[in-house]
Amino acid sequence: MDGVDLKKIEKKMNGASGAELKAVCTEAGMFALRERRVHVTKEDFEIAVGKVMMEVTKKNMSSYVQSHSSSRSGPLSAHHRHSAAHPGPSSARPGLQADLLGLSLPPSGY
């Protein structure tokens, strides 16, 4: 792991679940493999963290918190942050591509 500072990655992923940590490590490794490298770099991890830990806009997060505030108290868990990033059923439209922080999601069925 060339120049990888695990403490910095830990700070960027504060509150992440074990599955999210595993996904970041897997993604970083895949980036290195795609470029036929045997070592994972700091940049590989930074890209992987950005891909796995997509930030939720304040608007989306506040509406999610309001709709779930009666059922829980305290900070949101990694699961709840993850769930807040998904669009609700009302936003699903056939053939529409959503661009989320540089990730293009094709419609289902492709």
Q: pLDDT (tens digit, 9 = 90+) per residue, 49-97?
A: 888 876 444 455 666 666 665 555 555 566 555 555 555 544 444 444 4
Residue 93 inside a domain? The answer is: no
* CATH code for the domain in which residue 56 is found: 1.10.8.60
State pTM to two decimals.
Answer: 0.49
For residue 62, what pLDDT is reported?
64
**Element containing residue 34 per DSSP (H, E):** helix 18-34
Residue 101 inside a domain? The answer is: no
For residue 37, what pLDDT is reported?
92
Residue 89 inside a domain? The answer is: no
Residue 77 inside a domain? The answer is: no
Residue ranges making up the domain that contains 21: 1-68
Work out how many domains the chain is built from and give that number.
Answer: 1
